[in-house]
């Protein structure tokens, strides 16, 4: 297996067959090698966000619109408008488009948002680069074999969307057949909106050629959206030894696909995840000793990810099968930390089912394991809280939520979004508290908790925010506000249509059935029509 290292990038290699001839291809990045310090600082990004919020407040005042009026038009909560105007948060572009329409701001708000996002994305990329340098160290820029430096770029046969085929002689190829690539390139800090061009080096039979692609296309390639027309078959390279670095590459790639899933939806990502699991299993069979255990652990984490995707897409049978597989692999690898996490996930999946009596028991089992990471403990305490709700124990519910809050407050900053339990944050706990109050039929408390969660929710996790928007709508209906419930649910349904989240669509559909008696209200009728159109 050929692996290229660069200060800011991870390379990957495949064994492929072009027509009937076996060719080893290694894709290695040629850009951004050589360390540079941060160019964008946090203060500049924060300043841009505050300036954008001030612009919103200025336009709203000029139009004589109150925060509550604007919140109803957008629609969001009034606290969201207040948070934006003070610069504490910045919702996505849809929010700013709606503010433009509501206030007639002449494009100023959208332009300000786009400027802010460019700064934020650059800061995120630079911070990801810095973190990767710290993780991998300053590696010498030796991505190509001796004598290949300075190879002139050869443009691909056609632009990516497909990637053009480059033949073994370095010329322009044009082979017709295509397959989805299973081994994908993982790059930290790549945003969906990035359109800058990336140059990749492809090594074929010892020769080096270059292919130029957009970062968006590379993201889609990783998610299995784009195909490579050069390849007619794909096979794993079987060598006598497996490079130990592949374990870290799989961890990087999984973190990348988690981000892609939130933007592109599970339906797009799941097939790629299943391909990677098969690839890890193949490497695991070749490995021995400690390396094999690490690959088993990697396969466990990927299997849990597949289970999460299957659940979100509405296939609970496949979700359970993948999670059971993850638990079995975690125990085989003697990975107690991940086994504790799987137990907590099993508890989570039992909430609201006929097996709800297992929720608290599974959570306690996770908490009993030695060395369970603090955020996994917090996650398990959340499940303890839901177990108490199932038993009607309000005091136990509140006590478990408070224990989870204490654990989250005491947790050390994590090294990345892919660490176990990293999602267990203050907004997540507020959302889970809202879920508990909703099930305890205390709708006003549920609205307060859900609203606090949605207002603080990180923008990059828009689908999970969407889940809690939908739950907020149920809380409004419980508080006898059907019009407000329909307005919030319509916002959730819009995002769910983009991401393909079956969870949100099911939840909105359940709410719509309860709203049928209020069809005479304009907002309710709009939601029901939107749901019927979405199919």
Encode pLDDT of 183-227 as tens digits. Answer: 333 333 333 333 444 444 443 344 444 444 454 544 544 444 443
- The answer to whether 282 touches 241, Cβ cutoff 8 Å, is no
Provide the pLDDT for residue 499. 65
Provide the pLDDT for residue 533. 74
> Does position 388 have pLDDT exceeding 70, yes or no?
yes
The arithmetic mean of pLDDT across residues 500-528, rounded, is: 88
Burial pattern 277-288, b for ≥16 Cβ within 10 A else e, equals: bebbbebbebbe
Provide the pLDDT for residue 25. 34
**Using N-to-C axis directions, what is the helix angle for 374-390 and 394-410, rounded to 10°?**
170
User: For the chain, what are the domain ranges?
Assistant: 5-35+138-235, 42-136, 245-334
- The per-residue pLDDT for range 249-300, each reduced to its tens digit, is 888 888 888 877 776 677 778 888 998 999 999 999 999 999 999 999 999 9
DSSP tag of 461: G
- Say whether 94 sits in a helix, a strand or coil: helix
> 435 falls in which pLDDT band (50, 70, 90)?
very high
Q: Which residues contact 352 (CB under 8 A, 6 or more apart)?
A: none
> Does position 454 have pLDDT exceeding 90, yes or no?
no
Q: What is the mean pLDDT of the chain?
A: 74
Give dist(CA 371, CA 60) in Å, integer.
52
DSSP tag of 371: T
Give dist(CA 375, CA 22) in Å, integer.
47
- The per-residue pLDDT for range 140-162, each reduced to its tens digit, is 333 333 333 333 332 333 333 33
Q: Is the dihedral of CA 54, 55, 57, 62 positive or negative?
A: positive
Provide the pLDDT for residue 121. 78
- The per-residue pLDDT for range 68-104, each reduced to its tens digit, is 999 888 877 788 898 899 988 888 787 898 899 899 9
> 483 falls in which pLDDT band (50, 70, 90)?
very high
Q: Which residues contact 201 (CB under 8 A, 6 or more apart)?
A: 4, 27, 28, 29, 30, 143, 144, 151, 208, 209, 210, 211
Q: What percentage of the chain has pLDDT greater than the value 70?
A: 68
Highest-pLDDT range among 37-51, 399-413, 505-519:
505-519
Q: Which two tokens stand for residue 274?
A: 């299943």
CATH class of 42-136: mainly alpha
Q: Is the dihedral of CA 280, 283, 289, 291 positive or negative?
A: negative
Strand pairing category for 197-204 and 21-29: antiparallel
> Does position 177 have pLDDT exceeding 70, yes or no?
no
R_g of the chain, CA atoms, integer Å: 25
Provide the pLDDT for residue 532. 80
Provide the pLDDT for residue 239. 47
> 133 falls in which pLDDT band (50, 70, 90)?
low
DSSP 142-176: --S-TT-TTPPP---SS-SSSPPPB-TTSSB----
Provide the pLDDT for residue 91. 82
- The per-residue pLDDT for range 51-64, each reduced to its tens digit, is 999 999 999 999 99
Q: Which residues contact 321 (CB under 8 A, 6 or more apart)?
A: 307
Q: Is the dihedral of CA 145, 150, 156, 162 positive or negative?
A: positive
Give dist(CA 343, CA 349) in Å, integer.
10
Provide the pLDDT for residue 267. 76
- The answer to whether 11 touches 28, Cβ cutoff 8 Å, is yes
């Amino acid at each position: 297996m050929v692996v290229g290292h660069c200060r800011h990038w991870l390379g990957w290699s495949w064994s492929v067959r072009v027509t009937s001839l076996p060719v080893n291809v290694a894709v290695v990045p040629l850009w951004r090698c050589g360390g540079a310090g941060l160019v964008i600082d946090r203060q500049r990004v924060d300043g841009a966000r505050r300036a954008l919020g001030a612009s919103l407040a200025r336009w709203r005042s000029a139009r004589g619109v109150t925060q509550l009026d604007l919140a109803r038009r957008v629609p969001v909560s009034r606290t969201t408008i207040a948070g934006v105007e003070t610069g504490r948060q910045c919702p996505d572009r849809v929010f700013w488009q709606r503010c433009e329409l509501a206030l007639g701001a002449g494009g100023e708000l959208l332009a300000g948002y786009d400027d802010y996002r460019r700064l934020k994305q650059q800061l995120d990329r630079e911070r990801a680069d810095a973190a990767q340098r710290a993780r991998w160290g300053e590696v010498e820029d030796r991505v190509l074999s001796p004598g290949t430096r300075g190879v002139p770029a050869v443009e691909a046969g056609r632009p990516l969307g497909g990637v053009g085929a480059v033949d073994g002689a370095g010329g322009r190829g044009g082979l017709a057949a295509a397959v989805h690539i299973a081994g994908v390139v993982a790059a930290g800090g790549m945003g969906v909106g990035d359109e800058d061009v990336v140059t990749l080096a492809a090594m074929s039979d010892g020769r080096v050629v270059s292919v130029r692609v957009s970062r968006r296309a590379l993201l889609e390639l990783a998610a299995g959206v784009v195909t490579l027309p050069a390849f007619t078959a794909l096979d794993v390279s079987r060598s006598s030894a497996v490079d130990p670095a592949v374990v870290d590459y799989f961890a990087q790639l999984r973190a990348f696909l988690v981000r892609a899933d939130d933007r592109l939806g599970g339906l797009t990502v799941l097939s790629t995840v299943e391909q990677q699991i098969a690839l890890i299993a193949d490497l695991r069979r070749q490995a021995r000793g400690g390396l094999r255990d690490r690959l088993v652990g990697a396969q466990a984490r990927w299997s849990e990810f597949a289970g999460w995707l299957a659940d979100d897409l509405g296939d609970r049978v496949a979700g359970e099968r993948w999670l059971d597989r993850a638990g079995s692999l975690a125990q085989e690898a003697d990975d107690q930390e991940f086994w504790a996490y799987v137990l907590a996930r099993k508890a989570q999946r039992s909430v609201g089912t006929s097996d709800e009596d297992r929720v608290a028991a599974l959570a306690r089992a996770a908490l009993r394991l030695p060395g369970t990471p603090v955020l996994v403990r917090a996650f398990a305490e959340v499940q303890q809280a839901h177990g108490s709700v199932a038993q009607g124990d309000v005091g136990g519910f509140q006590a478990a939520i408070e224990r989870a809050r204490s654990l989250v407050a005491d947790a050390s900053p994590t090294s990345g979004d892919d660490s176990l339990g990293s999602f267990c944050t203050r907004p997540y706990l507020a959302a889970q508290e809202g879920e508990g109050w909703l099930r305890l039929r205390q709708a006003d408390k549920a609205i307060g908790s859900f609203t606090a969660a949605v207002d603080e929710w990180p923008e990059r996790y828009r689908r999970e925010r969407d889940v809690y928007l939908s739950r907020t709508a149920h809380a409004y209906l419980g508080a006898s506000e059907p019009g407000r419930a329909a307005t919030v649910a319509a916002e959730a349904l819009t995002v769910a249509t983009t991401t393909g989240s079956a969870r949100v669509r099911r939840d909105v559909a359940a709410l719509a059935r309860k709203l049928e008696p209020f069809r005479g209200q304009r907002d309710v009728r709009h939601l029901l029509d939107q749901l019927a159109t979405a199919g």
